[in-house]
Chain A
Amino acid sequence: MAAALPLAVLLLLLLGPVGGGHAEPPRDTLREELVITPLPSGDVAATFQFRTRWDSDLQREEGERITLEKDNCHLLVSHYRLFPKALGQLISKYSLRELHLSFTQGFWRTRYWGPPFLQAPSGAELWVWFQDTVTDVDKSWKELSNVLSGIFCASLNFIDSTNTVTPTASFKPLGLANGTDHSFLRYAVLPREVVCTENLTPWKKLLPCSSKAGLSVLLKADRLFHTSYHSQAVHIRPVCRNTRCTSISWELRQTLSVVYDAFVTGQGKKDWSLFRMFSRTLTEPCPLASESRVYVDITSYHQDNETLEVSPPPTTTYQDVTLGTLKTYAVYDLLDTAVINNSRNLNLQLKWKSPPATGALNRGLVFAEAPPVPFLYAQRYVSGYGLHNGELNTLLYNTHPYRAFPVLVLDTVPWYLRLYVHTLTITAKGKENKPSYVHYQPAQDRLQPHLLEMLIQLPPNSATKVSIQFERALLKWTEYTPDPNHGFYVSPSVLSALVPSVVAAKPVDWEESPLFKSLYPVSDSSSYFVRLYTEPLLVNLPTPDFSMPYNVICLTCTVVAVCYGSFYNLLTRTFHIEEPSTGGLAKWLANLIRRARGVPPL
């Protein structure tokens, strides 16, 4: 009786929170969106976004449970509906705060296409913020990259200390954060990574409607990879659950951006339609989605005085400040039954209509007026000759007529290009431009790469050149890849900037506005945040002659055989006299024939 009482209390303690805290599974919602943007150069960009918001607070629940049942932290959330289980288990197992993984093929040409919604560097990029509770960040990082390589069929297991860096000022968290200690951040890029259907297949399988209904019907690999730029990404971050922001929800965004080339896919014509881009049309919204919309950018740029016409005509339009300029979008809501009509087929068509007066100027893609140039764009290249030295140059262009703005440049250079930091020069308009913040972490051979972070103020209407000289190292012969003459990649520079906007933006309500407005949290309405990447660079390292071991073996064996062999024979060879043989059967037969012929015998 006396023993039963504390036992009953213990039982109650164990069962109490279990009963009260999790009677029902947390709720999740899906919103899907497609934005079609005709680009100034005649190409068209399509950006898909699938956002699953899961109203569950994984960390707080873990904190409650740890006091009672230490082992069952992972089994806490066992009911997954729209949020994929593979990613949900990752968040709880590795104590992630944010995860951003992207696979990109091609390069976003900011100069000709305008600023992107969300750019990603060529190859694979992974950056992760861990929770404060993680004790060994490097070990978790290594295990996480291995698990992700299995989920996405990519060689992310090549991420190790030689290409991982810890940025000190870039890559601030994109979600809710109550402290930014950069020792919990890790960033790595694999520029050599190839993106193909085997990466798209598991990405599609994470979507709640897979590729069966809604906007994901358009995701067919043979059309998506026939593009100038293909980028697919997974972003996981904690967001506000409501406008008062008192509780956390987990947000999973899967984004896919493609740019169709006017010449390759469009055969020179500027008219686009969903069928021409994706070889599919939209039939129905995803039944699990609470919102399923298509936005078409109908802001005209006054090129050749042509105007853009979309058919079928949109029911509503949406006008707002996006990336600093005022843009108008035609909205097609797939959940609205008037949009998908009786034929259950929605094929949006974009046509450029020229006014009847002009004639000769409309040929092809010749512009009468130049398309608007973005305020910030960059270019990177390697200069120098030979296989010993070289110079890395980054050109940052600020085309704003009177405003200067700061840019944070993050450079990660592999250890085998030995940078000479004393040759780092930053010049703008002929004068030296001193950065207000510089962080340099030198490389250690075979252990870590160079990390260079600088905050540079770009003067208005100028091109700033950042250059640094380097020397190429000779690798050990087993460290070369099987195709060393292809070259070695240098990861792209990351530019994070607050670019001044032409029109001031209104504050954004994340739930009501379209998904492309809430990619970055906005604090200041007079400028917008953008993260650009430069091109990856290809550098040749001095390669040894890989056939030399074989040559050496042949040569050595020949020398040994000829020299030593001759001496050996000279010293040990003896001569014997041999009795000649009598001939045998062949000679007897030959003599027989000779006697028959009458010729003297042998």
Chain B
Amino acid sequence: MVAAFSFSKGLTTLSGLLLLSFGSLAASQIEDQAEQFFRSGHTNNWAVLVCTSRFWFNYRHVANTLSVYRSVKRLGIPDSHIVLMLADDMACNPRNPKPATVFSHKNMELNVYGDDVEVDYRSYEVTVENFLRVLTGRIPPSTPRSKRLLSDDRSNILIYMTGHGGNGFLKFQDSEEITNIELADAFEQMWQKRRYNELLFIIDTCQGASMYERFYSPNIMALASSQVGEDSLSHQPDPAIGVHLMDRYTFYVLEFLEEINPASQTNMNDLFQVCPRSLCVSTPGHRTDLFQRDPKNVLITDFFGSVRKVEITTETISLQPDLEIMESRDKKDWMDEELMEPLQYAEQLPVAQIIHQKPKLKDWHPPGGFILGLWALIIMVFFKTYGIKHMKFIF
């Protein structure tokens, strides 16, 4: 009896303990979920995608940038939050056998240009100055919204650059370079102005790792396609188009990103493994010492995707057609007719009027500068030669 009592007591305590542990487990799970929701701390996403090379044989750099653009759009970042800079036009280039397309795979499997592309900086506008102005926000006041990086201190920014580079520099359009020190200083300016929450910098050029060596601002993670002293190689040429279509590193990054959807939980460590030496020939590198979170806690969609706060409602709203417009139109016309006299279209080529047009006289300004000095010299010489007494003939 005592045993049974103690048994039941033990059972209750055991069940009580179990309940408590379940309860705490459940509570910690809820906490985890809550923490997960607020993990990254960013509220919006931006992307700055730059292709810096000009000329037809650099087709692959434009294809690189467009494939990252395509992935980023697919994962949710809208065009208004993407600043796309392409230094040359490959799609409508006269040498392109298939106009309005840019392919990333040979045999023309994937058209990364698409039907819905918006390029913000085109052709000659892609310069080091414009790029740094976009990053730091020091832009002339008449620049339209689509050309600005309007990020705040809760924005996660993805910066992707591709082109020809060397040890410590990246070439823009075959005429100027940006050095790694300038880039690091630009990021520091962004940090001091609180223009980003976290920044992911990806670069696909030769000796790309040299570009992130000099960063010193916090919350920056960087990836490069090759180490210092190594060249980044291109992937495959297409015999119909005649040039190399993509670079190896971005090709494998694109393959990796094609499998990501907006809800995926893949983290940065997988991105670091993307292109091993056997596939890429060069050794991709990365730098995470400036980043505060552990890369395995950073989701790919923190940078490539977009945060959405959506609330779904199930109530229906019906829209009524506007009947007022139809009735009031006739009334308004009748009213106006009595007020104004008839207007006329301008004559397109009024020959008689043109022939007898008088030229517009510009306002007369007194001479200045060189002409004034010349006349002053002439008058001075005249009076020196002939003497001041001749002044009386003038006044």
Which residues of A pack against B, CB within 8 Å?
A: 23-25, 27, 55, 105, 142-143, 146-147, 149-151, 153-155, 157-158, 168-169, 172-178, 180, 183, 192, 194-198, 201-202, 220-222, 224-226, 240-242, 244-248, 406, 408, 436-437, 439, 455, 481-483, 496-498, 520-521, 523, 529, 546
Contact = CB atoms under 8 A, between A and B. Distances in A.
Given A150-B147, A482-B54, A177 B333 contact: no
B351 A201 contact: no
6 contacts: A174-B345, A176-B344, A176-B345, A195-B92, A198-B119, A529-B349
B354 interface: yes
A481 B350 CA distance: 41
A384 B355 CA distance: 33
A155 to B, nearest CB: 5
Nearest to B147: A150
Contact of A24 (B55, B113, B142, B328): B328
A24 B324 CA distance: 7
Contacts of A173: 346
B357 A168 contact: yes
A368 B118 CA distance: 48
A247 B336 contact: yes
Given A168-B357, A437-B355, A496-B348, A196 B91 contact: yes
B328 A196 contact: no
Contacts of B340: 246-247
B125 A155 contact: yes
Interface in B328-353: 328-329, 333, 336-337, 339-351
Given A24-B328, A25-B325, A241-B333, A194 B355 contact: no
Contacts of B125: 155, 157-158
Given A177-B345, A437-B355, A482-B54, A246 B336 contact: yes
B63 to A, nearest CB: 15
Nearest to B342: A245
Interface in B88-112: 89, 91-92, 98-101, 111
A150 B348 contact: no
Contacts of B174: 482-483
Interface string B132-147: 0000000000111111
Please report whether the interface of chain B is mostly helix, strand, loop or mixed according to DSSP.
Answer: loop
Q: Which of A55, A153, A436 has the most CB of B within 10 A?
A: A153
B328 A520 contact: no
Contacts of B367: none
B142 A146 contact: yes
A580 to B, nearest CB: 40
Contacts of B337: 242, 244, 246-247
A197 B333 contact: no
B342 A153 contact: no
Contact of B124 (A147, A155, A241, A248): A155
A194 B350 CA distance: 35
A180 B349 CA distance: 12
Q: Nearest 10 pairs between A and B by C-beta?
A: A150-B144, A521-B345, A196-B92, A225-B100, A482-B173, A177-B346, A225-B99, A146-B142, A482-B175, A198-B119
Interface string B8-26: 0000000000000000000
B359 interface: yes
A25 to B, nearest CB: 7
B115 interface: yes
B8 to A, nearest CB: 72
A27 B325 contact: yes
Nearest to A202: B118
Contacts of B92: 105, 194-197, 225
Contacts of B145: 150
A390 to B, nearest CB: 24
A444 B256 CA distance: 56
A151 B144 contact: yes
B116 interface: yes
Contacts of B101: 222
A193 to B, nearest CB: 8
Nearest to B125: A155
Contacts of A221: 100, 115
Given A55-B329, A247-B336, A154 B347 contact: no
Contacts of A247: 333, 336-337, 340
B343 A482 contact: no
A225 B346 CA distance: 35
A183 B173 CA distance: 39
A270 B123 CA distance: 37
Q: Which of B324, B337, B345, B359 has the most CB of A within 10 A?
A: B345
Contacts of A154: 122
Contacts of B142: 142-143, 146-147, 157
Contact of B343 (A24, A176, A224, A455): A176
Contacts of A149: 144
A436 B356 CA distance: 9
A110 B161 CA distance: 45
Interface in B63-105: 89, 91-92, 98-101
B376 interface: no
Given A24-B328, A151-B144, A481-B124, A222 B357 contact: no
A496 B348 CA distance: 8
B117 interface: yes
A521 B54 CA distance: 44
A197 B354 contact: no
A351 B360 CA distance: 57
Contacts of B182: none
B77 to A, nearest CB: 17
Given A180-B346, A246-B339, A436 B355 contact: yes
B329 A153 contact: no
Contacts of A455: 351, 354-355
Contact of A201 (B98, B116, B324): B116
B173 to A, nearest CB: 4
A201 B144 contact: no
B232 to A, nearest CB: 22
A158 B124 contact: yes
B144 to A, nearest CB: 2
A483 B55 contact: yes
Q: Which of A150, A154, A242 has the most CB of B within 10 A?
A: A150
B291 to A, nearest CB: 34
A221 B322 CA distance: 35
B120 interface: yes
